[in-house]
């Protein structure tokens, strides 16, 4: 093994207002880094080779100048961007991880990362992995944060009952495509919205949504929902916010539940420009529950989720579509594309081969 | 007993847009009505003499032209206004009620009402009543719908823990004054907002709020809340909506709960003019739960609530302030006053003496 390797890094150059552009990020020229931990690294650190990086909507709020506490600290201009990924352990001072182990969790947008203790707060060992018949990249999605997000949001927050109606926005995305399929498996009638004819087709064919519509082609979202849900919506899995939420509120049924997972339509708007939500009287009139949640609060459910979902992946009951960009140099563009709906399915970036 | 009596009625003349005015309602000239049930009344009806009528914010949405299903049907122009009240049974074809019994529940804005079956869906017998040391009028408030509303919203929806912080808007109203006192009894730190110096004083002295502010005198509601809650708000009891909700969202703590009871600031605005709520990202960032509720869904908890609250009323632990208008002819003005904050405490109308 070489004593050093070339390490490229993607940093955030400055805080972003509005839509992120490629010039907000920068791929720094490679530097040589040691291929083992050094005395500079805190005791208990782990050195990993990053293989896949995940592009997730929650990363956008972290790119804004921090004005108030959020659930996740803002990125630091000049520092490497961090996010979910899949990696291979190169050197470990944590007894629970050994060189060669595959892990998923929070890592850096760079070829090699030193993950500082408490390492298990950031990284989970992959027990199934590439040789379990499941692509390793799935640990950025269906077997990672988005998968547990979909499971917790749908099953724990919304408590679905067979026969109920479910609406999912951003339904072809990493989380949405799973919620749709979980809903179908739960015996619900599920409808999704997406932003292109291609995605709508994917919802109806590949993911088994009972119906779907292209929100960009609907002059009246409330009317589109009324058409798809003549009896109203029992469960809304909220990924977009803004005008869609306002339209959904008018179409909810009594005692409906809304899992508030993401508000991607709002992330690139400045504070004073956020879309107005005006139909909140429906929350009383229909006795609705809206509940926000984030995956890290529910980590303890991961083993239960993994055990439940793996057989469905292996036997093809649940389909999963990824949009894979190649190379660290294309990571910024891939992340930016999320906010324009350019991805079809889960957006991730492959920065090294599985066996590298 | 006279065979007939004079009956006056208040009707809604036409649907209301904006703030209700006295001309939207009309006190009809008295007509003679029989003082017993007749063959025109459905079997199982009950004839009552109304004693107290309640003015409640939820009545305003019922005055609007119905555009969509609400939790409660709109009033019918030309028909008598209905609402909560306290009454004495005059004649009964329901075996559970006898002449002389006192009842509270849904009745009409008129001297005498025939309550049609299923009577027990509308009226509850008062077992404690005037001779139990508790004013009969309290069954329009602390011992009626507003009381159970405060109890359910605070204890069931918000699940308070001692030491948590609680904010109540419209805090001197029928529901708000109770939530504040329930919060104090639960060991919480509670702050209220109201619309006059007199009401703010009442909150701090009579009702034992730890702090209070006049929202009309605060140029920046979010700053006022940050001042009162330097560590943030665990529980918000929502009575007003609009700008207050938007400010509260910025000040909630992680895992906060919002019981959505009323949105009185929005009831007199037309559909397109409702205040914009823009800070909903806080729902995710802070993993908030917002839950709408209405008292009729929780009727089964009334006996538990009554048993809990009666000793506190009798020993003075819980204070209760009413604003009593005199005479059916003043009922429209009293109801209208609610929407301008003219009432101090629970607004009701006495239309006959307790022993009438």
CA distance A150 to B68: 32
Helices assigned H by DSSP within chain B: 59-62, 145-151, 176-185, 197-205, 221-228, 243-251, 281-285, 302-314, 331-338
Task: Give Rg (Cα) of chain A.
Answer: 21
Considering all CA atoms of chain B, what is the largest pairwise distance in Å, rounded to the nearest integer? 67
Distance of residue B354 Cα from the nearest chain A Cα, in angstroms: 34
CA distance A102 to A129: 7
- DSSP conformational letter for A18: S
- DSSP conformational letter for B305: H
Instruction: Tell me: pLDDT of A247 over 90.
Output: yes
B287:A283 CB<8 A: no
Tell me whether residue B218 is exposed, middle or buried, using C-beta atoms within 10 angstroms of its C-beta: 0 to 12, 13 to 18, 19 or more.
Answer: middle
Of A260, A277, A288, the CB nearest to B277: A277
A299 touches chain B (CB under 8 A): no
A293 touches chain B (CB under 8 A): yes
Distance of residue A168 Cα from the nearest chain B Cα, in angstroms: 17
In a mutagenesis test of the A interface, which of B247, B268, B280 is the best target, namely the one with the most A β-carbons within 10 Å? B280
Which tokens belong to A56?
A: 């997730």
Of A68, A260, A283, the CB nearest to B260: A283
B250:A68 CB<8 A: yes
Task: Name every chain B residue with its beta carbon within 8 A of the beta carbon of A61.
Answer: 281, 285
CA distance B189 to B209: 8
| Mean pLDDT taken over chain A | 95
CA distance B121 to A336: 57
A291:B289 CB<8 A: yes
Q: Helix/strand/coil (H, E, C) string of A167-222? A: EECCCCCCCHHHHHHHHHHCCCEEEEEECCHHHHHHHHCCCCCCEEEEHHHCCCHH
CA distance B54 to B49: 15
**What are the tens digits of pLDDT across the range A63-119?**
999 876 555 689 999 999 999 999 999 999 999 999 999 999 999 999 999 999 999
Which tokens belong to A173?
A: 């995305």
Tell me whether residue A308 is exposed, middle or buried, using C-beta atoms within 10 angstroms of its C-beta: 0 to 12, 13 to 18, 19 or more.
Answer: middle
Which tokens belong to A198?
A: 């291609």
CA distance B226 to B353: 47
B261 touches chain A (CB under 8 A): yes
A180 touches chain B (CB under 8 A): no
B253 touches chain A (CB under 8 A): no
Task: Name every chain B residue with its beta carbon within 8 A of the beta carbon of A245.
Answer: 280
Instruction: Tell me: pLDDT of A131 over 60.
Output: no
Cis-peptide into B118, omega within 30 deg: yes
Portion of chain A with pLDDT greater than 70, in percent: 97
Q: pTM for the full model?
A: 0.94
**What are the tens digits of pLDDT across the range A144-196?**
999 999 999 999 999 999 999 999 999 999 999 999 999 999 999 999 999 99
What pLDDT, on the 0 to 100 scale, is given for residue B2? 56
Q: What is the ipTM of this complex?
A: 0.94
* Phi-psi sector, B30: left (phi>0), alpha (psi -120 to 50), beta: beta
CA distance B85 to B49: 10
Task: Name every chain B residue with its beta carbon within 8 A of the beta carbon of A69.
Answer: 285
* Residues near A313 by beta carbon (within 8 Å), at least 6 away in sequence: A134, A138, A142, A143, A320
What pLDDT, on the 0 to 100 scale, is given for residue A305? 97
What pLDDT, on the 0 to 100 scale, is given for residue B253? 97
Reported confidence tier of residue A270, pLDDT bands at 50, 70, 90: confident
Mean pLDDT by 10 residues, chain B (356 residues): 87 96 96 96 97 97 79 87 97 96 97 95 81 86 98 98 98 98 98 98 98 98 98 98 97 98 93 88 96 96 95 95 98 97 97 86
Task: Name every chain B residue with its beta carbon within 8 A of the beta carbon of A277.
Answer: 276-278, 280
Which tokens belong to B247?
A: 């400010």
CA distance A190 to A228: 10
In a mutagenesis test of the B interface, which of A244, A277, A298 is the best target, namely the one with the most B β-carbons within 10 Å? A277
* Residues near B108 by beta carbon (within 8 Å), at least 6 away in sequence: B9, B50, B80, B81, B82
Task: Name every chain A residue with its beta carbon within 8 A of the beta carbon of B299.
Answer: none
A247 touches chain B (CB under 8 A): no
Distance of residue B7 Cα from the nearest chain A Cα, in angstroms: 33
CA distances from A110 to A73, A93, A114, B77, B228 (A): 19, 20, 10, 69, 45
> CA of A284: which chain B residue's CA is closest?
B292
Of B245, B250, B283, the CB nearest to A260: B283
- DSSP conformational letter for A277: B
Q: Which of residues 60-79 of B touch A (CB under 8 A)?
A: 61, 68-71
Of B70, B276, B294, the CB nearest to A278: B276
Which tokens belong to B63?
A: 């005055």
Of A245, A261, A284, the CB nearest to B294: A284
A276 touches chain B (CB under 8 A): yes
CA distance A322 to A326: 12
Instruction: Tell me: pLDDT of A272 over 80.
Output: no
B274 touches chain A (CB under 8 A): yes
> CA of A276: which chain B residue's CA is closest?
B276
Helices assigned H by DSSP within chain A: 59-62, 145-151, 176-185, 197-204, 221-228, 243-251, 281-285, 302-314, 331-338
Q: Outline where DSSP puts E strands in chain B.
A: 4-12, 25-34, 46-54, 82-92, 102-108, 112-115, 123-125, 165-168, 189-194, 211-214, 233-238, 252-260, 289-292, 322-326, 346-350
What pLDDT, on the 0 to 100 scale, is given for residue B72? 67
What pLDDT, on the 0 to 100 scale, is given for residue A34? 96
* Residues near B102 by beta carbon (within 8 Å), at least 6 away in sequence: B86, B87, B88, B89, B125, B126, B129, B130, B136
What pLDDT, on the 0 to 100 scale, is given for residue B355? 79
A284:B292 CB<8 A: yes
> CA of A266: which chain B residue's CA is closest?
B281
CA distance B2 to B181: 46
Query: b/e string for A259-298 if b means 16 or more Cβ within 10 A?
Result: bbbbbbbbbbbeeeebbebbbbbbbbbbbbbbbbbbbeeb
Instruction: Tell me: pLDDT of A218 over 80.
Output: yes
Distance of residue A70 Cα from the nearest chain B Cα, in angstroms: 5
């Amino acid at each position: 093994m070489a004593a050093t390797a070339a390490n490229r890094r993607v940093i955030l150059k400055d805080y972003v207002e509005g839509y992120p552009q490629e010039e907000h990020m920068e791929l720094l020229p490679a530097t040589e880094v040691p291929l083992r931990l050094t005395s500079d690294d805190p005791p208990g650190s782990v050195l990993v080779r990053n293989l896949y990086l995940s592009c997730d909507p929650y990363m956008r709020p972290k790119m804004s100048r921090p004005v108030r506490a959020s659930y996740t600290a803002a990125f630091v201009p000049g520092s490497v961007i961090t996010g979910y990924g899949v990696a291979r352990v190169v050197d470990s001072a944590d007894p629970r991880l050994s060189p060669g182990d595959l892990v998923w969790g929070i890592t850096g947008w760079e070829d090699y990362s030193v993950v500082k203790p408490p390492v298990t707060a950031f990284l989970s060992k992959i027990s199934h992995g590439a040789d379990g018949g499941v692509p390793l990249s799935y640990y950025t999605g269906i077997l990672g944060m988005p998968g547990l997000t979909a499971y917790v949001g749908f099953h724990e927050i919304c408590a679905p009952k067979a026969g109920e109606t479910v609406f999912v926005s951003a339904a072809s995305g990493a989380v949405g495509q799973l919620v749709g399929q979980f809903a179908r498996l739960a015996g619900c009638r599920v409808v999704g919205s997406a932003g292109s004819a291609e995605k709508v087709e994917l919802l109806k064919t590949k993911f088994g949504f009972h119906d779907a519509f292209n929100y960009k082609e609907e002059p009246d979202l409330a009317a589109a929902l009324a058409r798809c849900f003549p009896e109203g919506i029992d469960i809304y899995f909220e990924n977009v916010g803004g005008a869609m939420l306002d339209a959904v509120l008018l179409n909810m049924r009594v005692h409906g539940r809304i899992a508030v997972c993401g508000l991607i339509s709002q992330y690139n708007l400045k504070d004073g420009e956020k879309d107005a939500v005006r139909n909140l009287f429906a929350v009383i009139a229909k006795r609705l529950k809206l509940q926000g949640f984030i995956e890290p609060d529910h980590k303890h459910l991961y083993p239960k989720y993994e055990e439940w979902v793996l057989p469905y992946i292996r036997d093809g009951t649940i389909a999963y579509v990824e949009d894979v960009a190649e190379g660290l140099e294309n990571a910024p563009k891939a992340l930016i594309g999320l906010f324009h709906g350019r991805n079809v399915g889960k957006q991730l970036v492959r920065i090294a081969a599985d066996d590298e």
